[in-house]
Structure 1
Amino acid sequence: MVVDDHPMWREGVARDLAEEGFDVAATADGVAAAAARAAAVRPDVVLMDMQMPDGSGADATAQVLQAHPGARVLVLSASDEREDVLDAIKAGATGYLVKSAQRSELVAAVVATGDGQAVFTPGLAGLVLGEYRRIARAPRADAPVLTPRETEVLRYVAKGLSSRQIATRLEISTRTVENHVGAALRKLQLGNRVELARYAIEHGIDGETR
C-alpha cells in the first residue's frame, strides 16, 4: 500500500512498484484513509509519507499498525530531519528512505522490509542506532533503582572479578558482596552473574571505578 498526499507522486510510486511485479493493494492520501484501507486490504508493506493533510506520517504509522499489526511500514519522505526519522521509528516504522532514492533502491528496500529487515537511507542508520543506545542507557521511570554500593559491586562483576576480589577492593566482607549481588539480581530479575555482567555492559555500568 502506498500512502502519500500528492496524487502524482502516489500514483507514480504505485505504478513503479506494479511494474516491478509488486501487488499494490491500495493507495491512500491521509491518516484516516490509510488506517481504513490497511484494515481492509491487510498489506504486507506500507510505503508511508511523513506529511499528510490530517496528521503526520508517524500518526498514520501508529494507526495503520493498530488496524493491521502484521504490516511493516517503510517511510518514503522528502524529509531527513532527525525528529521526523525518530518519530516514525518510535511509531513503529521499520525503515526510512528519502524520496531522492533511486528506483532500484526503493525496490530493494520494499523487498527487505517485507522480509522483516530494517532499511535506512545511508546516514540515517547511525542516527537511529545512536538514539537506541541513548534510550537503552537512559534510566526509565519504572527501572529498578540500585543503591550506590550495589552499582559499585555490579561494576566489578562486569569486569569479571570474583566476590573475594571485589570484597578486597571495597574493603568489605565476601558475604556482604554476595548480599549486594543477590539484591541486584532480585531487583533486575536476572538469573545469574553472567546475566548481571551483561546488563552492566549494556547499560554502561562497566566503566572505570575507583
Structure 2
Amino acid sequence: MADQVSLVVVDDHPVFRLGMVALLGTIDGFTVVGQAATRAEALEVVDQHTDVVLMDLHLGDDSGIEATRDLVRRHPHVRVLVVTMREDDESVVASVRAGARGYLLKAASPAEVERAVRAVANGEMILGPQVAERAMAAVVSGRTAVRLPFPELTDREREVLDLLARGFDNTTISRRLVLSPKTVRNHVANVLAKIGAPDRAAAMIRAREEGLGVD
C-alpha cells in the first residue's frame, strides 16, 4: 500500500459527507482529494490518482451500486468501500457483484472506518462485522453457482427477473436492488425483449420454469 492513500467521498447527504471528509482528514496517511453527491459528480472527480472511494448506496435518484460498477469499469485500480445504512443481504451482495471491495455501516466507529479504508487500500476484501457472516453465506450459496438461467441476460437483468418472478412490482424491485425506478423500468423492458416474453406475467412463468423466483 502507498504511504499516502488518496480518498474520494461520495454521499448525497452533505452533513454526513462533510463529517466523513473531516474525519478522514485527521487520520495520518489519508488525503481526501475530492467529494461528490451524485453518480455524475463521482465519475468526474475520481481519476487515476484515486486509491479508495467511500460510496453511499443512495445518491438521490442515482444508485451507488451503478456508480460503483461504472467507477470500477472505468478505473480498475480504484477500491470502492461502501458506507451505508443498509445491512440487508441484497444490498451487500449487489455491492460485491458491482465490484466493491468493502461494505461498512454508517454506524461504524472512526477506528472501524480507518481499519476498513486501510484494508481495501491494501487490496483486501472487508465486510463490517454486522454483515460479514450473513453476506458471505449468501455469496457462497448463490443460485447462479450451480446453473446460470437465461445466459443472454446480464447479472443485473437476471436479478431483476428473479424479483419479478417473485411477484414484486417495480417499486419493490427498485428498493431491494437500490436502483432508481427508471432504471428498473429499463431493465424490465430489456428482460422482456431478450427472453421473448410479451408481458410480465409471461416473463414470470418462464422465469419460474427456469428456477428463478423460488427458494
CA-atom RMSD in angstroms? 1.8
Q: How does 1:18-97 map to 2 (within 5 A)?
A: 18-21=25-28, 22-39=30-47, 42-97=49-104
Verify the 8 A CA contact 1:38 1:67 in the aligned structure 2.
no
Structure 1 residue identity aligned to 2:32: V
Structure 2 residue identity aligned to 1:139: R
1:141, distance to aligned residue in structure 2 (A): 4.8
Deviations 1:35-62 (A, max 9, x none): 12113x6311100001012311101101
Verify the 8 A CA contact 1:42 1:68 in the aligned structure 2.
no
Structure 1 residue identity aligned to 2:49: R
* Higher-RCO chain (CA-CA 8 Å, sequence separation at least 6): 2
Write the distance in 2 (CA, Å) between the matches of 1:87 and 1:132. Answer: 10
Residue of structure 1 in register with 2:24 after alignment: 17
* TM norm structure 1: 0.63
- Which has the larger share of helix? 1
Aligned partner of residue 62 in structure 1, secondary structure? helix
1:86, distance to aligned residue in structure 2 (A): 1.4
Note closer, same or farther for the CA distance 1:6–1:142 as it changes in structure 2 (3 Å cut): closer
Residue of structure 1 in register with 2:178 after alignment: none
Q: Which protein has the larger Cα radius of gyration, Structure 1 or Structure 2?
A: 1
Q: Which runs of 5+ in 2 are unaligned?
A: 1-7, 152-215
Residue of structure 2 in register with 1:99 after alignment: 106
Q: Which runs of 5+ in 1 are unaligned?
A: 144-210
Write the distance in 1 (CA, Å) between the matches of 2:112 and 2:130. Answer: 15
Percentage of matched positions with identical amino acids? 34
Structure 1 residue identity aligned to 2:80: V
Note closer, same or farther for the CA distance 1:4–1:48 as it changes in structure 2 (3 Å cut): same
Verify the 8 A CA contact 1:36 1:67 in the aligned structure 2.
no
Write the distance in 2 (CA, Å) between the matches of 1:137 and 1:23. Answer: 39
Structure 1 residue identity aligned to 2:38: G
Deviations 1:133-162 (A, max 9, x none): 22374223599xxxxxxxxxxxxxxxxxxx
* TM norm structure 2: 0.62
